[in-house]
Chain A
Amino acid sequence: MKRRDFIQLSGMGLGAMMGSSIPVLGNMVSAEHLLEPGADIATKKRLADIALNATKSRGATYTDVRIGRYLQQFVFTRETKVQNITNAESYGVGIRVIANGTWGFAATSDVTPEGIAKCAETAVAIAKANAKIQKEPVILAPQKGVGEIVWKTPIVKNAFEVPIKEKIDLLMNVNGEAMKNGAGFVTSNLFFVNEQKYFASSDGSYIDQDVHRIWPTFTVTAVDKAAGKFKTRDAISSPMGMGYEYLDGLASEKISAPNGLIGYRNSYDMVEDAIMASKQAQQKLTAKTVPAGKYDLVLDPNHLGLTIHESVGHPTELDRVLGYEANYAGTSFATLDKWKTKAFNYGSKHVNIVADKTQPYTLGTVGYDDEGVPCKEWDLIKDGILVNYQATRDQVNILGENASHGCCYADNWNSVQFQRMPNVSLKAGKDKLSVFDMIKGVEKGIYIIGRGSYSIDQQRYNFQFGGQLFYEIKNGELVGMLDDVAYQSNTQEFWNSCVQICDKDDYRTFGSFFDGKGQPSQVSAVSHGSATTRFNGVNVINTGRKI
């Protein structure tokens, strides 16, 4: 449990955000303070050993200790003004134990030998208290200790070392170009996160990890006051597991798409995207309203990522399947009995979806998860069949496996770690196919780019998605922009309507930077890769209304 501050963003134009508010962890400090080194590894090992010894002597059969320093730098601007700069640091230790077959957890910001010993004592006491009402003793999958290990996100340029002035100059340039190209309003933001996590467990692991994430984004608004209309276009960037080099805008990482559209792989040109966004937001003001009906959808990776997240990522979380999230996020239609048949057609034979925590540049990639399990890649859906789930050490026995998938994560030292989504990605098609070729084959369709409105039920059957840009496809050609588009489908029906996937040259990742789950709520960051994909005969509704 923790107190948490939230930056409320209503009216700040962050339409792309997964929630309505952004969590800020810890104390507000100066930008320079974020560059100071934390405790050295030898100190952290000494402190962790104090906890490991204290819990063992009190009867714990398993212990893990996480000494974490969590850093955030967020920059918010609108038009010519800097609205807010947040530099936050959170430092402390979380201790999790199994005693009498039951989990106990306690955390403290008092990172001293005394503070840690007391916290360890509390964790064991809570485990023993909860054991009295425990009905399902913990079965922990074995994990061999890995000794002393260091892992770091392979960044080129640490975003925290880039002067604030440079970041403000970039955003002012983004905003200026957007306004110059006809935008009525623009908000732009940079989010940087650095998790300095030290993990030690009674298995004999001492893992020091330095994890970096970045998300540049903006929203451009075009207003037609005479008509009383406004339209927005959000950035088509992706949050990444990268340093500031993501903002280099390398030409080699751009992907050309029809109508002069540009996709970004592992390098993003924020100014270029803002200029495009400004023009497109204005085009949206006069775009044709969509006639409702069935269309073949051509979905860009920057759009499809969210559909994968909601309709495959969440339903294959084993804790949801088992009912642990029933009161909040919900359960899942992808039940164990369906999985056990080894014949449940989640999608068509083109659909191969992998879970992964090793893919370079992604948000989910780390060396080890928050219970010391080395990260890997595994299949969730193979040739359209549901073959596996996402599990942690205390769940994987249910699947008949004896090694965890490495899906455990806590968003701070004072949060208890639990099952969180790894990267979940759709494999690119094996045959050579560009988005140009794909569109040529569509008679009546819509090409959708960017994340828009999204909603799905608590068991992940029925969903509705919007987007940022919609182009009508007629007889193999893009004929103009559409407005008021949303598609509704059923997860299994939708993935079974998948008929074509572009090849690896079109593959990109999309990401969610503040994905919420649990009570009390915790955030996590996760990527979803895919190439442009075609789905046939999907129901499209018209969302235009008069008030």
Chain B
Amino acid sequence: MNKILTKEEAKKIIDKVLAFSKADEMSVALNGGRTGNIRYARNSVSTSGESYDQSLAVTAVFGKRSGTATINEFDDASLEKTVRRAEEIARLAPENPEYMPMLGPQTYIEAPTFADSTANIDPDYRAKAAFDSIDPCSKKGLTAAGYMEDSAGYSAMGNSKGLFGFNKSTSVDFSITVRTADGLGSGYAIRDFNDVSKLSTKQATEIAMQKALASSTAKALEPGKYTVILEPAASIDLLQNMMRSMDARNADEGRSFLSKKGGGTRLGEKLFDERVNIYSDPSNIEIPTSGFGGGGGGRMGGGGSDGRPQEKISWIENGVVKNVYYSRFWADKKGVKGVPPPSGFIMAGGTESLADLIKGTEKGILVTRMWYIRAVDPQTLLYTGLTRDGTFYIEKGQIKFPVKNFRFNESPIIMLNNLEAMGVPTRIGGCLVPPLKIRDFTFSSLSDAV
């Protein structure tokens, strides 16, 4: 079956599955779609492929015992067999004391997550996209290594209590690393969209080429505390890691950066510079996501796999922690409504461009990208990692020269307290993030890596 199901077709299959149920409760998740990719290195395509897949997962529940079985064939006999198998697994499963009864019907926001342009991508389109990136590099004696992955699919969920949700979505992710022939310069650019007509692999590659050429005579600066301008590709991982750490239960249990000395949590406390505002909104036109977290998006790993709707939620407002996210069990135990984790987030920014931020900087470091970021201390959200693919020294509002890469040890909590300025947010990894100017960012050693 090489197609994206309609809402009606998906509902028909889910209803059929539910009709086979002998369990106390049953839920069905149905997903399908096409993914394609093209990968190149050394100015040559190394791998490319396209595949269609679909999967139906049935979860059966008896009391507090649940079991899941999946299948990728949707004929009646296969569906019934899968229902019986899920029921068998459920009967043999241990009781889950934290099991929550399934939700009834919900209302989900419908966001423009699907673009025909992306759904129509074929192998020729991918080859052209790769060519547009490789060709300018070859002509300049530079070496391109890149990857484009596109997907078009649907996601549906339903249960025996009448809940039903359907969403179809598309996505395209592109990244490009350009290196100079002598291996001394390296540049990078990354893009992601729902709608591929917004993507120009040529334009993105040109930025990576400029950075590669401009970074090839890097000087070593002493490690220490610097004012930095973090492009969105440099700050996104730290911000995402922070957002993933805003779980209510961990905070209540005393094992989170949001846990408070003496017990309790820091919900409602001002932890950041008052200009920091972070929220999520599934219907944001730049980063639309499914109303229940299914069918693409969902890069935060969150979303409503338990059926809860995604809504517009403020997480940090004027520097104050406004919300933390809850599992349904923990929300019930704590007697609160409890919102699910978001699929993506938006950090509000300013009106200045990246160039404006550079212009307004007396002394600082421009960081293109950060790499190999790992948690050092979950208590303080201290992370370590390195700059990569374009690090430059700024003086008197101008980029003066490229500098060797640094290792950093920094916490996004401290970073967002040391905020100097913000630019216009752009899409990165399914989120909207502004370029950030931060003072006293901690670089702890130098790296020879290019």
Q: Which residues from chain A sit less than 8 Å from chain B, CB to CB?
A: 1-3, 5-6, 8, 10-11, 15, 20-21, 27-31, 33, 80-83, 85, 87, 103, 105-107, 109, 126, 129-130, 133-136, 164, 168, 184-185, 221, 223-230, 232, 322-328, 330-331, 333, 414, 416, 453-462, 464, 466, 484, 486, 488, 490, 519-520, 539, 541, 543-547
Contact = CB atoms under 8 A, between A and B. Distances in A.
Given A134-B44, A326-B143, A228 B407 contact: no
Chain A CB within 10 A, most for which of B253, B260, B263, B413: B253
B379 A230 contact: yes
A130 B48 contact: yes
Contact of A230 (B39, B255, B384): B255
Nearest to B58: A28
Given A28-B57, A81-B97, A323-B179, A453 B44 contact: no
Contacts of A185: 253, 255
Query: Would you list the 5 A-B pairs with minimal beta carbon distance, nearest first?
Result: A228-B261, A462-B447, A326-B145, A457-B449, A459-B449
Interface in B342-372: 371-372
Given A229-B379, A543-B376, A1 B72 contact: no
A13 to B, nearest CB: 9
11 contacts: A3-B35, A27-B72, A323-B41, A327-B41, A327-B147, A453-B384, A457-B371, A461-B448, A461-B449, A486-B376, A519-B147
Interface of B: 31, 33, 35-37, 39, 41-51, 53, 55, 57, 67-72, 85, 88-89, 92-94, 96-98, 123, 127, 131, 143, 145-147, 149, 175-177, 179, 183, 244-245, 247, 249-250, 253-255, 257, 259-263, 271, 301, 371-382, 384-386, 388, 405, 407, 409, 411, 413-414, 444-450
A82 B96 contact: yes
Given A27-B55, A453-B384, A545-B382, A126 B48 contact: yes
A26 to B, nearest CB: 8
B69 A543 contact: no
A161 to B, nearest CB: 16
A488 B376 CA distance: 13
Contact of B43 (A135, A328, A484): A135
Contacts of A331: 179, 183
Given A27-B55, A323-B145, 8 more contacts: A33-B85, A224-B254, A225-B262, A330-B388, A462-B386, A462-B447, A539-B445, A541-B444
A226 B262 contact: yes
A1 B36 contact: yes
Contacts of B42: 135-136, 322-324
Contacts of B176: 327
Contacts of B57: 28
A455 B372 contact: yes
Contacts of A544: 377, 380
A133 B127 contact: yes
B342 to A, nearest CB: 13
A65 B213 CA distance: 43
Nearest to B445: A488
Contacts of B177: 326-327
Contacts of B247: 10-11
A10 B327 CA distance: 12
Nearest to B32: A3
Given A28-B69, A109-B72, A541-B444, A225 B254 contact: yes
Contacts of B45: 130, 133-134
Contact of A3 (B31, B123, B409): B31
B382 A135 contact: no
B372 A547 contact: no
Contacts of B450: 459
Contact of B68 (A28, A328, A490): A28
Contacts of A8: 301
Contacts of B175: 327-328
B384 A1 contact: no
Contacts of A326: 41, 143, 145, 177, 179
A227 B262 CA distance: 6
Tell me whether chain B's interface is mostly helix, strand or loop, or mixed.
strand
A197 B147 CA distance: 29
Given A223-B253, A459-B448, A462-B386, A324 B46 contact: yes
A322 B255 CA distance: 44
Contacts of A2: 35, 51, 53
A461 B407 contact: no
Contacts of B445: 462, 464, 488, 539
B384 A464 contact: yes
B384 A323 contact: no
A30 B94 contact: no
Contacts of B261: 226-228
B205 to A, nearest CB: 11
Given A130-B48, A228-B259, A228-B260, A327 B449 contact: no
Given A81-B97, A453-B375, A464-B384, A547 B254 contact: no
A456 B245 CA distance: 23
Nearest to B43: A135
A458 to B, nearest CB: 5
Contacts of A546: 380
Nearest to A9: B301
A85 B90 CA distance: 11
Contacts of B379: 229-230
Nearest to B410: A545
A468 to B, nearest CB: 13
Contact of B70 (A27, A226, A484): A27
B289 to A, nearest CB: 16
A75 B265 CA distance: 31
A1 B57 CA distance: 21
Contacts of B143: 323, 326
Contacts of B53: 2-3
B85 A29 contact: yes
A457 B386 contact: yes
B254 A328 contact: no
B372 A456 contact: yes
A547 B70 contact: no
B113 to A, nearest CB: 17
B374 A454 contact: yes
Given A323-B41, A457-B372, A488-B407, A462 B149 contact: no
Contacts of A226: 261-263
B448 A462 contact: yes
Contacts of B68: 28
B47 A416 contact: yes
A144 B42 CA distance: 30
Contacts of B71: 27
Given A225-B262, A324-B41, A459-B450, A85 B253 contact: no
B394 to A, nearest CB: 22
A461 B449 CA distance: 6
B244 A10 contact: yes
Nearest to B417: A547
A135 B44 contact: yes
Chain B CB within 10 A, most for which of A223, A416, A545: A545
A221 to B, nearest CB: 6
Chain B CB within 10 A, most for which of A1, A324, A456: A1
A85 B68 CA distance: 9
A11 B143 CA distance: 41
B254 A184 contact: yes
Given A414-B51, A457-B388, A30 B85 contact: yes
A547 B414 CA distance: 7
Contacts of A133: 44-45, 127, 131
A519 B385 CA distance: 21
A470 B115 CA distance: 53
Nearest to B380: A545
A520 B411 CA distance: 30
A3 B55 contact: yes
A3 B57 CA distance: 14
A5 B382 CA distance: 29
Contacts of B444: 488, 541
